Amino acid sequence: MQALTRLARAFDAAADRGTPLPVWWRDDDAVDVGPRLERTMALAADVGATIALAVIPAGVTDRLLTWTAGRAHLLQHGVAHTNHQRTGKSAELGDARPADAIAAALVAARARLDVAHFVPAVVPPWNRMRDDLAPHLAAAGYTGVSLFGAAPSHTPLTRVDTHIDPVAWRTDRSLATDAALCDMVDRALGQGGPIGLLTHHAVETDAVHDFVKEFVHLVARHPGAAWTDAAALFAR
């Protein structure tokens, strides 16, 4: 696959420079432990990666909170992954409600994630968030925010995005085309920060999982790549 070849060439160049490219892994929509999450977590363990699980507080089970200790970092995936927009694209943290009300709802939901492996960073559902929310989140004790494919912004929060999502969301939700994946790789390499892999274990087809497996094994074995994780990226 050309996308992985392109990524490997970037790792080759980084190895020649002696400065491996950092890569991190975010997996969205976690609520409970099941075979699909177990498969994803087993793959992460095989390649030495600590996944950042974006957890939906309203649906998360005690079992997931306990089981992920020592295995993953937890990020806050909104409140309930509910669309509040009356028109336009779906968003839970969009402009349909005042920013202070959204921040208050997030803080209330955060109490459900009171575990040692929680990292105080917000992952907006549908990767959309109103522009003026960041100062409210910083004042409430959050350290970071993570979206998909956007350029870093200068806010009180640390912004670390993901770039490579192999799911073809607009068609059959199987593996995205190689051309689309190449575009994602190019965007990731062009933005100059950590390369972010985004997965969704609950809807992952075998084809998507096979791509993810190739991707993470490439990172693990290549001297021009190095895993980083949410605790380091969103440190206070």
Report the SS3 class of residue 82. coil
**Residues 144/234, Cβ–Cβ less than 8 Å:** yes
Mean pLDDT, rounded, of the chain: 96
Does the reported pTM lie above 0.95? yes
Look at 37-41, 64-68, 156-160, 207-211 and tell me which has the smallest mean pLDDT. Answer: 156-160
Tell me: the pLDDT tens digits for 173-194?
Answer: 999 999 999 999 999 999 888 9
Neighbours of 153 (CB within 10 A): 12
Provide the residue ranges of all domains of the chain, joining segments of one domain with +: 2-233
Residues whose CB falls within 8 Å of the CB of residue 100, separated by 6 or more in sequence, listed in order:
136
Interatomic CA distance for residues 136 and 125, integer angstroms:
17
pLDDT exceeds 70 at position 16 = yes
Q: Is the pLDDT of residue 20 over 90?
A: yes
* Whether domain 2-233 has CATH 3.10.20.600: no
